[in-house]
Structure 1
Amino acid sequence: MVNVQEQKVLLEVQNLKQYFSVKREKLLQPKLSVKAVDDISFTLCEGETLSIVGESGCGKSTTGRAILRLDEPTAGKVVYNGKNILDLSKKDLRTLRGELQVIFQDPFASLNPRQTIQQILSEAMSIQNSVQKELRKDRMRELMHLVGLPEEALSRHPHEFSGGQRQRIGIARALAVNPKLIICDEAVSALDVSIQAQILNLLKRLQRQLNLTFLFISHDLSVVRHISDRVMVMYLGKVVEIAPKHALFNQPTHPYTRALLSSIPVPNPKVQKERILLSGDVPSPINPPSGCRFHTRCPFATELCSSKEPETVEVQNGHHVACHYANDFFSA
């Protein structure tokens, strides 16, 4: 496990906001926005895996897209290796993107079906000019070896591979430009469980071998527990808890985190596990609740929770919680 205090901070996100305008149905209707990501901050250290978890619609994938500027953020700072990505020109951003890569959820949709694997990998190297032209074939053979595919795969098309093999090709494409940070956006959720384990082990091996840094976005807490160094929990565009993996799974503090972890199935019929069931639905991100956004579903909510937004407090070294009663819940 990476010791965050001893590592260099590679990525620092400060007060990031990502709002999307909603089309008005009437001419005089007030302008509305979906607050997909609303004022979040966190750091990511070199060689670390930070996982982002939460329900669908909480802002996990939008955070990843905003960091890469696939969507232009509404406000905030994204400082990578000392440079604010949001201030870069298109030319400088294109150069920097060689160090920032992404692995998408659907390995079939993210690969050009008309190109061979050799063309897909060569295109990435050509755009970033990461490898000299005469050395690209050797580099492609090396990439195939790294991800566990035969060299003959280079002459084939994406449809000729299984889902797991296609995701290996997606990983090879990300590695083709020698990145330092890779954002894994639900990178294993479309795969069978046995294949998920293979891909996760491959990512961990590549991380050790190539000194990679991962921002791992997932809704599967079992997967997150296997691959993470730290875990960040999001709810309705906000960060509610962030902590080292073992601290979060062994002593979850925020009521929402506790509810999430209680939903993990236990593969033993003799073990009785208490399940925390939340009432109501997730509120609309167009008009989020005042105060703590979780108070409409929280079984411990008080009047303070509905009127004042909680500050993030550190309940233990590296364990931060956005809750008015964080210290009470942590010691309970």
Structure 2
Amino acid sequence: MNVSSPIKKQAILEVTGLKQYFTLKNGLPFKPPQQIKAVDDISFSLFEGETLSIVGESGCGKSTTGRAILQLDKPTAGSINYKGLDLSTLSKKELRKIRGELQIIFQDPFASLNPRQTVRKILTEAMIIQKVVPFEQHEKRLKELLDYVGLPLTSLDRLPHEFSGGQRQRIGIARALAVNPKVIICDEAVSALDVSIQAQILNLLKSLQKELKLTYLFISHDLSVVKHISDRVIVMYLGEIVEIATKAELFHNPSHPYTKALLSAIPSANAQKRAQRILLKGDIPSPLHPPEGCKFHTRCPAATDQCKLVAPPMIGGENHLTKCHYV
């Protein structure tokens, strides 16, 4: 079930019934292989011009969702509809044609750039593959890209190790912009950076979105970052969406116990807010053997026998849906 955008816009991306399972070989001849249900039957819409964030603890499936949308990992089931095309049914040749419109900014600015290539090579390689501009216009386009991300022209002939972490992430953003994308998936794009640099990169992403009319799927575990940049927020737990709402609704009127616990963990200078911290008991269950019924019931302070037996449906209004029996 999807939730509408607070601003009535056209959905540029529709994810329906997405599943991403990974098979583990156990090495025993008569025992069947086990499956990790990294993403387990999720659906949502991404609307043109908005920033939709996905949050949750490590291992909840948020980064796997982003990779599945881009077909970096082939989904087990479900459809990813982009402008009327189901990406999961396209051949490699057909995908290459459309990859220019769907780009990603990776989490680690150290590992995501080829250490042996100069910035010039990193940026022009993408432009050549996607045939963005003729060869004689490459220099003009390179200068334009560096202007967008706030780097000097002298950066072009330097290697990635000569830059700071924040500058490397700016290069990663420039690489994503090089092919004129419509949708950018930001996979923990600021989590590896210092707090002061995080703010600069977030402000850069917001200004680029406005200037270039971009649409973001922003993946993060940090709710304070999500609050700064999002229009709507998806909360994931153990491969499922447990809550999806507008930013204002989620932060001021959270419905799911898991969302409430995440919000209470946001650092605060207010002693009263710190005293209201909701501490979840136990660890996240293994995705190899997820709990029956509601997957959160093993850690939920309000769980009942019904939660242990019956998986809750998504319920709620147009701008706020929650997967809980007791909303």
Residues 253-309 of structure 1 deviation map (CA, whole Å, 9 limit, x = unaligned): 000000110101113457554011111111110110011000111111111111111
TM-superposed deviation, 1:91? 0.5
Structure 1: segments with no counterpart, 5+ residues? 327-332
C-alpha separation in 2, matches of 1:164 and 1:112: 16
Q: 1:98 aligns with which of 74, 95, 100?
A: 100
Residues 220-269 of structure 1 deviation map (CA, whole Å, 9 limit, x = unaligned): 11000000000000000000000000100001000000011010111345
C-alpha separation in 1, matches of 2:271 and 2:143: 47
C-alpha separation in 2, matches of 1:30 and 1:199: 46
1:49 maps to 2:78: no
1:319 maps to 2:320: yes
Q: Give 3-state SS (helix, strand or coil) of 1:183's partner.
A: strand
8 Å Cα contact 2:53-2:226 kept in structure 1: yes
Q: Give the aligned residue type for 2:227.
A: R
Q: Give the aligned residue type for 1:249.
A: F
Return 2-11 or 238-247, whichever deviates more.
2-11
Match of 1:225 in 2: 227
C-alpha separation in 2, matches of 1:200 and 1:299: 35
Q: Matches of residues 15-94 of structure 1 in structure 2 within 5 Å? A: 15-94=17-96
TM-score, with length taken from structure 2: 0.97
Match of 2:175 in 1: 173
Q: Give the aligned residue type for 1:87.
A: T
Runs of 4+ that moved beyond 2 A? 2-5, 267-273
Q: Give 3-state SS (helix, strand or coil) of 2:233's partner.
A: strand
Q: Give the aligned residue type for 2:216.
A: F
Q: Give 3-state SS (helix, strand or coil) of 1:6's partner.
A: coil
Q: Give the aligned residue type for 1:136.
A: H
Q: State the superposition RMSD in angstroms.
A: 1.2
Match of 1:300 in 2: 302
C-alpha separation in 2, matches of 1:259 and 1:25: 39
TM-superposed deviation, 1:30? 2.3
8 Å Cα contact 2:101-2:183 kept in structure 1: yes
TM-superposed deviation, 1:6? 1.5
C-alpha separation in 2, matches of 1:3 and 1:259: 25
Closer/same/farther in 2, CA of residues 3 and 58 from structure 1, 3 Å limit: closer
Residues 137-180 of structure 1 deviation map (CA, whole Å, 9 limit, x = unaligned): 10000000010000111111111100000000000000000000
Q: Matches of residues 1-332 of structure 1 in structure 2 within 5 Å? A: 4-269=6-271, 272-314=274-316, 316-326=317-327
TM-score, with length taken from structure 1: 0.96
Q: Percentage identity across aligned positions?
A: 65
8 Å Cα contact 2:181-2:214 kept in structure 1: yes
Q: Give 3-state SS (helix, strand or coil) of 1:10's partner.
A: strand
Match of 1:329 in 2: none
C-alpha separation in 2, matches of 1:129 and 1:281: 48
C-alpha separation in 1, matches of 2:272 and 2:237: 32
Q: Give the aligned residue type for 2:93.
A: K
TM-superposed deviation, 1:48? 0.5
Q: Give 3-state SS (helix, strand or coil) of 2:97's partner.
A: helix
8 Å Cα contact 2:236-2:243 kept in structure 1: yes
Q: Give the aligned residue type for 2:304.
A: T
8 Å Cα contact 1:4-1:45 kept in structure 2: no
Q: Give the aligned residue type for 1:323.
A: C
8 Å Cα contact 2:6-2:246 kept in structure 1: no
